[in-house]
Copies of this chain bind each other. A is one copy, B any other.
């Protein structure tokens, strides 16, 4: 039996000194639009960790910026939208994405795939609720007041908005797969902030359309959000092959909540990596052990690598996952 595959959300980025050095002075969205930087940042973690996949260095708002939405990533804050989308006429600003809008992504993916050889590149896109939340609330939000009041109060506009975002996402993921990405992850990071019923009614049909559009390509589709304990079954039902799980629920319990045939990804709390190695080791073993109850397990963190994480710990953890999973499988 092969070892459990492992990669880390945000394995590229702020936790790596070589990333901070090469990014210095370049705004995030500028970096995401330069093929050489995308390629470099995507590859940096692979020079340090024996991870089983690369994930495209990008940001979920890249396709929105590319079609002309006034959006920027404010350091220490997150995406900030110049004119939030809150009415029917605002939708006109969301035209569909053409491959020509993001030539830098196609170019970077093509270069990466050539460079990576056997190692798969995972494509990257934001999920419909999460993209909508930035566009409607205008930036990061604690309680998603405006997003939710639109979702609850004006389902027609909500659905029109998510339909446009879904079209954009299908195009964005489609061009990554066309250029050689061998898996995709849909980051609907904040979907866990709504109830299962609302998710089923107001988000799932859109996510399903994304996953269905990708079905003919045959690439594995990963679906992730934080705080989604109650949504795990629905994240799978939307059409994902792999359901991402945060640390709030053990993997064996998560396995009981998804339909048969779905693999799980996760779920070490990123904050555990800030503790001494003995703690990391013990907790990682627990995750591997519990992951064996799932129909396939990709080891990952329950959310992105925290900026203060020591890359040495991630290197050691990667090896531990490989060795320990082989040992357990014997």
Contacts and interface: CB of A to CB of B under 8 A. Distances in A.
Interface of A: 143-146, 148-149, 152-153, 192-197, 227, 229-230, 247-250, 253, 269-272, 274-276, 279, 283, 303, 306, 308
Number of copies: 2
A293 to B, nearest CB: 16
Given A229-B229, A229-B230, A148 B197 contact: no
A37 to B, nearest CB: 26
Chain B CB within 10 Å, residue with most, of A143, A227, A271: A271
6 contacts: A143-B270, A149-B274, A153-B279, A194-B247, A194-B248, A230-B248
B250 A227 contact: no
A86 B294 CA distance: 38
A188 to B, nearest CB: 15
A308 B149 CA distance: 11
A148 B269 contact: yes
Contacts of A153: 274-276, 279
A129 to B, nearest CB: 13
A306 B143 contact: yes
Contacts of A194: 247-248, 269
Contact of A197 (B230, B250, B272, B306): B250
A145 B271 contact: yes
